[in-house]
Amino acid sequence: MKLFFYVLSVVLSVQVVCSQPETTKNKPNIIFILADDLGYGDVGFNGQTKIKTPVLDRMAAEGIVFTRHYAGSTVCGPSRASLITGLHTGHSPVRGNPRWTRSGAPVDLSQTQNTVAKELKKAGYHTAVIGKWGLAENLDEGKPHHQGFDYFFGFNRHGPAHHYYPERLWENDSLIELTGNVMKDKVGKYSQDLFTDKALEYVEKHHDSPFFLYLAYTIPHYELTIPDEYKTYYQQQDWPMREMKMGHYRHDRNGHVTYASMVSRMDDDIGRLLAKLNELGVSENTLVVFTSDNGHEYDRVNDPFFDSNGPFRGRKRDLYEGGIRVPFVATWPGIIMPGTTSDHPSAFWDFLPTACDIANVTPSAPTDGISYLNALRGLRQKNHDYLYWEFNERKGPIQAIMKGDWKLLYFVGSHYELYHIEKDPAEEQNVYQEQHERAKELKELLARARSEHPEFPLVKLEKSKK
């Protein structure tokens, strides 16, 4: 009976929101928080025991966990492009990281590209991206103000985002100097703190009208470094030393302590943001989503310490589950039933139609996504015909397609692998030879799941040295 009345209240609440499209003030705020290279198993609500994530775990208790949520790609550039455009990597304008193209030149979003920020801006939202944008390598059309964002603070390019003590950051269309920061010496203002402070300022300034905040943290991407005062708890643990060496990445010496401290610091900062929503009285009108852009990079697969990929095979740069299945938790008081989980297969390209659904507008351009608003609300949810990925770096080209619980991987020019994800989530039993009809069906889907792109052919590529 309690469940019945909760569902009834949810339906009525959503009807109230959606029945007033002419009043933008009543539209829900949307905050999308993205970690960088955080594994499925790096959070407490997915079984992590060494790294403490009490805020994210509380979000799971107060909201919903998606257990089958997938990143747009297994590396950050194309994954973020998929999130922003609503297109999977078979259709996205950005299908690889900057130097993995046929010409060796980076590909960015064009000014004409439809994005979730453009959609929400048209729906009356103020829009912001804070942190790692990474879709404007050419510092031209791909810059956030060309992609629907009213405010930007952070990194336009990938390379500078590798460092936590940057000497300059972009604010809107200006590159500003961070006085006192010395990147190589790791002194000055820690970028994670700067991003969180800017996010708090943004919410404070814009909470009286609907806003969309895309908070793209760089934690826990290499380099592994954090101010010493954030390491106290983990330095007291009886953990083995994992020695990290300095090079391009200015790592701190003890990898295990630093990695855990970085994740917990991010968790704490998310807690500060949630507290600000409560303080401002807007938490009940705000959807907060947290996820990661791809699988982990830090934990050793053959000798794991944190079990960052949970029960799954692979990591960043793999199209096995460990490379693309990512943690996902969302809260929205009064709309999302506390303590719920969903095994609905969803992906980054679903976010654009979901945001449009929340804002009560129709996407103005084709998308590969399906709104998961009903899944958030615990209602009947439409499923995808299939999910598709492609990846072409050192291990590539590789394609993957998933239909229901069946997943086919094609190592182009080499071989196929077929797995039943529900029965074999670790992808240990390749049944390609036994399941001829299923393999044939998925191969036919694979053949028509993508469009050609001159910069992202399915042939072996070499990384540009430009």
Helix residue ranges per DSSP H, 285-350: 321-324
In a domain, 440, yes or no: no
In a domain, 390, yes or no: no
Residue 30, beta-bridge partner list:
212, 287
In a domain, 335, yes or no: yes
Give the domain range for residue 348.
2-384
DSSP structural state of residue 137: T
Residue 356, beta-bridge partner list:
none
pLDDT tens per residue across all 466 residues of the chain? 434 434 444 444 444 344 334 456 689 999 999 999 999 999 999 999 999 999 999 999 999 999 999 999 999 999 999 999 999 999 999 999 999 999 999 999 999 999 999 999 999 999 999 999 999 999 999 999 999 999 999 999 999 999 999 999 999 999 999 999 999 999 999 999 999 999 999 999 999 999 999 999 999 999 999 999 999 999 999 999 999 999 999 999 999 999 999 999 999 999 999 999 999 999 999 999 999 999 999 999 999 999 999 999 999 999 999 999 999 999 999 999 999 999 999 999 999 999 999 999 999 999 999 999 999 999 999 999 999 999 999 888 999 999 999 999 999 999 999 999 999 999 999 999 999 999 999 999 999 999 999 999 999 998 887 6
- Is the separation of the CB atoms in 407 and 401 below 8 Å? yes
Residue closest to 248 by CA, chosen among 318, 161, 156, 323: 161
DSSP structural state of residue 236: T
Work out the burial of residue 452: count CB atoms within 10 Å of its CB; fewer than 13 is exposed, 13-18 middle, 19 or more buried: exposed
**Cis-peptide, bond into residue 397, ω within 30° of zero:** yes
Q: Distance (Å, rounded) from C-alpha 129 to C-alpha 214? A: 5
Residue 292, beta-bridge partner list:
35
In a domain, 224, yes or no: yes
Q: DSSP E strands: which ranges in 286-394?
A: 286-292, 328-331, 340-342, 346-347, 387-391
**Residue reference for tokens 């998961």:** 372
Question: How many domains are contained in the chain?
Answer: 1
Q: What angle do CA 89, 144, 278 make, to 5 degrees?
A: 100
In a domain, 406, yes or no: no
- Mapped to the 3 state alphabet, what secondary structure does 375-422 carry? HHHCCCCCCCCCEEEEECCCCCCEEEEEECCEEEEEECCCEEEEEECC
In a domain, 393, yes or no: no
Q: What is the CA radius of gyration of the chain?
A: 21
Question: Can you read off the two tokens belonging to residue 219?
Answer: 């934690």
Distance (Å) of CA 404 to CA 2, 37, 70, 219: 32, 26, 14, 32
Position 23 scores a pLDDT of 54
- How many residues appear in the chain? 466
Q: Distance (Å, rounded) from C-alpha 129 to C-alpha 390? A: 26
Residue closest to 146 by CA, chosen among 118, 176, 122, 116: 118
- Provide the 10 A C-beta neighbour count for residue 366: 10
Q: Distance (Å, rounded) from C-alpha 139 to C-alpha 318? A: 29
Q: DSSP E strands: which ranges in 315-370?
A: 328-331, 340-342, 346-347
**Residue reference for tokens 């919410």:** 203
In a domain, 304, yes or no: yes
Q: Distance (Å, rounded) from C-alpha 227 to C-alpha 245? A: 17
In a domain, 53, yes or no: yes
* Residue 38 zone, left/alpha/beta (φ > 0; ψ -120 to 50; rest): beta
CATH code assigned at 65: 3.40.720.10
Q: Distance (Å, rounded) from C-alpha 13 to C-alpha 332? A: 11
Q: For the whole model, what pTM was predicted?
A: 0.95
